Amino acid sequence: MLPCFSELPVRPGAPPGSSWGIFGDDDEIGTLNFIQPEQVAAAAKLVRRGKVFSLNLDLDLPHPPFFGRRPIRHTLFEKYGGTALDEYIDDLYPQASTQWDGLRHFADPDHGFYNGAQLAELTDAGATRLGVQNWAQRGIAARVVLLDVARALADEGASPDPFDFFPIDGELLAHTAERQRVELTPGDVLLVRTGWLEAYEELDTPSREQLAGLGRPGAPGLHGDDVPAFLWDNRIAAVAADNPALEATRPGDAAPLSLHVALLARLGMPLGELWRLQALAADCSSDGVYEALLVSAPLNIRGGAGSPANALALK
């Protein structure tokens, strides 16, 4: 029987609210352990209409990139006398577009990375502990539940500014699930639609450049001390949203991302950002079914700190 959030931690000396040791002292996949074969088999039965939704942005979006990254450069070249093409990509940041934050991405500033790993262990030549290859080699296949917070708020007469701070706490997540008549089950991957990405895609080039120049764009997103407990106690395996940081952010604010610490470093929970959810959300609203089979294949990068999501939802 796994402990509830209020009973964490279980390992002496581990930080508050951490799952360190629960899945073993050498565990490297975190809350993906909630996804067992029976959960995968049940999720596969959710494919009833054969509809497939890609949840991925173009690799070169957002453009200009956020957080000081450089734009990718894609080069094609001819081979074999012009009868074939090969290619390479420069400045590909695995976490620049639709992506997963890996367990190497964020540490607890006082205690270290997930399960107590320390920076020196992760940066030594050839070190692979907590690398994203662990997720790639097992794959991510699970029931996914979309919580369409943006639509729920709009239907209730609220219209948050998509480019400013708006907190989505555990209470609002629970309210949205109840409103959609969908129940969360252990091993689910949770998708949260804030509406940020649709608003971004409507911007012209100067507006996108201005947004990138802020350092950190503003956005609705997860925020609140009750969020880690909500996710852990519902045995959520991973959580993703359609905004740049998963968390709610203020324009240009460089404040620490507290939920990255609470979820990645302490709970070992994969975080997804910039997921393209509008087509899936429209379909869910149309048929009233907010669950699907999710398949995601992170890149097999030994020692990687994150990866493009390569995610599909099937209904």
CATH code (residue 68): 3.50.30.50
What is the CA angle 283-287-288, rounded to 5?
Answer: 105
Q: Six-digit token pair at 300?
A: 């097999």
Neighbours of 277 (CB within 10 A): 25
Quick one: how far is CA 163 from the chain centroid?
A: 19
Average pLDDT of the chain, as a whole number: 97
Mean pLDDT (whole number) for 4-28: 97
Structure confidence at residue 34 (pLDDT): 98
The count of structural domains within the chain is 1
**pLDDT exceeds 90 at position 112:** yes
Residue 4 covered by a domain: no
Residue 3 covered by a domain: no
Mean pLDDT (whole number) for 16-30: 98
Q: Six-digit token pair at 15?
A: 């930080």
Residue 292 covered by a domain: yes
Structure confidence at residue 262 (pLDDT): 98
Which domain covers residue 44, as residue numbers? Answer: 21-314
Residue 219 covered by a domain: yes
Q: How far apart are CA 103 and CA 266, in angstroms?
A: 10
pTM of the model: 0.97
